[in-house]
């Protein structure tokens, strides 16, 4: 199904929100206003936006340690996200989670997760719930190439395939697990090949082409909704930045590999397509979209910074539900 120009512009805008959010998060992390650890998704925005644009509001997703993009693409409130990064009471987790643990169950975002492959069984359970409910809900599991080597991935995908659960496993293969190249961890070129072992479709897609991701995801989502079971989609992509934003973070990736992928920036690509091929975007229009986004992010920071830190005694709250 063709994606309308208006929708493409929305997708472009969404990718730019993720980019600007993370540029600011990185800046504020290095300035000491955001604590702990920040993993940036910059360069991989097309995966989250392409996949989530194929979902309904009540469909569910789960994310990874590199989770800001998935949250934003699923519709999370960036004010509450930034407040969480700032460790404030108004954050999504009331300051208990931080960058690696943002969740919004009301929008079907079942959480970023600090454990590689940790979220895969959880979202598989959400898919099981969707199957039990029988209302056509679909689940999406985002994970990286590194997670596809872990046991939880294989356990979960086997169950999902066997029970025909309505789930799409979306591998964001950014070619590196921290500082280890995927080629040193897998004897195969494509993670998608692993689908063969579970008797489900395994598709490789250019993860920096948001329209291709969208189209592939839409097909898998339809399949899942129809009760035909899971798919494994491997999105080949790349992170522009090192594993985390820590100033001392080592980066073993060859500089020419990094610069080669920077040339394939997913935002630039869609922008150029809209501008030159479709005539649906002018430089001025883009400039005003970007300015509006920068303002959104500034507002999120203002909201976060104006929010109080949680009172110390709140550390004892929320261990248990009522």
Partner 1 sequence: MRIITYEDAILEAIAEEMRNDARIFHLSTDAPQPLVKEFGTARVRSAPIAESALTGMAIGAAGSGYRPIIDWRSVTFSFVAMDQVVNQVSKIHYMYGGQKSFPIVFRTKVGGGTRRAAQHSQSPYSMFMNLAGLKLLLPSTPYDVKGLLKTAIRDNNPVIVFESERLANYRGNVPDKDYCIPIGDADIKRPGSDVTIVALAWLVHEALEAATELAELGISAEVIDPRSLAPMDKKTLCQSVQKTGRLVVADEAGPTAGASAEIISIVTEDGPTFRTLKCPVRRVCALPVPVPYSPSLEDHVFPDKTQIIDAVIEMMGDTYPT
Q: Which residues bind partner 1 (CB under 8 A)?
A: 60, 62, 91-97, 101, 103-106, 110-111, 113-115, 118-130, 132-133, 139, 151-152, 155-156, 158-159, 162, 317-322
Q: Rounded distance, CA 22 to CA 29, Å?
A: 10
Q: Of 103, 82, 91, whose CA–CA distance to 28 is shortest?
A: 82
**152 or 208, CB closer to partner 1?**
152
How near is the Cβ of 185 to partner 1 at its closest, in Å? 19
**163 or 286, CB closer to partner 1?**
163
How near is the Cβ of 177 to partner 1 at its closest, in Å? 17
How near is the Cβ of 271 to partner 1 at its closest, in Å? 35
**130 or 204, CB closer to partner 1?**
130
Residue 302 Cα to chain centre, angstroms: 24
Longest dimension (CA), the chain: 57
How near is the Cβ of 106 to partner 1 at its closest, in Å? 8
Q: Of 227, 149, 155, whose CA–CA distance to 198 is shortest?
A: 155
Q: Rounded distance, CA 13 to CA 302, Å?
A: 21
| Count of helices and strands (H, E) across the chain | 11, 7
Phi-psi region of 43 (alpha: psi -120 to 50; beta: other; left: phi over 0): left
How near is the Cβ of 74 to partner 1 at its closest, in Å? 15
**166 or 266, CB closer to partner 1?**
166
Q: Rounded distance, CA 247 to CA 125, Å?
A: 37
**50 or 98, CB closer to partner 1?**
98
């Amino acid at each position: 199904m063709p994606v309308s120009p208006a929708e493409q512009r929305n997708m472009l805008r969404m990718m730019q929100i993720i980019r600007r959010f993370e540029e600011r998060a990185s800046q504020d992390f290095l300035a000491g206003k955001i604590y702990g650890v920040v993993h940036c998704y910059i360069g991989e925005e097309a995966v989250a936006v392409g996949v989530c644009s194929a979902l309904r509001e009540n469909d569910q997703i789960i994310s990874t340690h590199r989770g800001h993009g998935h949250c934003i693409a699923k519709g999370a409130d960036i004010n509450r996200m930034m407040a969480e990064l700032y460790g404030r009471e108004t954050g999504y987790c009331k300051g208990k989670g931080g960058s690696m643990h943002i969740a919004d169950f009301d929008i079907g975002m079942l959480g970023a997760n600090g454990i590689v492959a940790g979220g895969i069984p959880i979202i598989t359970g959400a898919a099981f719930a969707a199957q039990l409910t029988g209302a056509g809900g679909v689940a999406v599991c985002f994970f990286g190439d590194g997670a596809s080597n872990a046991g939880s991935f294989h356990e979960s995908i086997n169950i999902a395939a066997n029970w025909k659960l309505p789930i799409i496993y979306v591998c964001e293969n950014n070619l590196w697990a921290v500082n280890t190249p995927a080629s040193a961890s897998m004897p195969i070129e494509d993670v998608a090949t692993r689908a063969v072992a579970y008797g489900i479709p395994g598709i490789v897609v250019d993860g920096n082409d948001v329209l291709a991701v969208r189209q592939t995801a839409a097909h898998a989502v339809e399949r899942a909704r129809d009760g035909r079971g899971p798919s494994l989609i491997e999105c080949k992509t790349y992170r522009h930045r090192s594993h985390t934003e820590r100033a001392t973070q080592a980066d073993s990736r060859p500089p020419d590999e990094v610069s080669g992928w920077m040339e394939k920036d997913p935002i630039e690509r869609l922008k150029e397509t809209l501008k030159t091929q479709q005539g649906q975007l002018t430089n001025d229009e883009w400039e005003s979209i970007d300015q509006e986004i920068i303002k959104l992010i500034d507002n999120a920071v203002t909201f976060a910074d104006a929010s109080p830190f949680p009172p110390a005694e709140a550390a004892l709250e929320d261990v248990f539900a009522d």
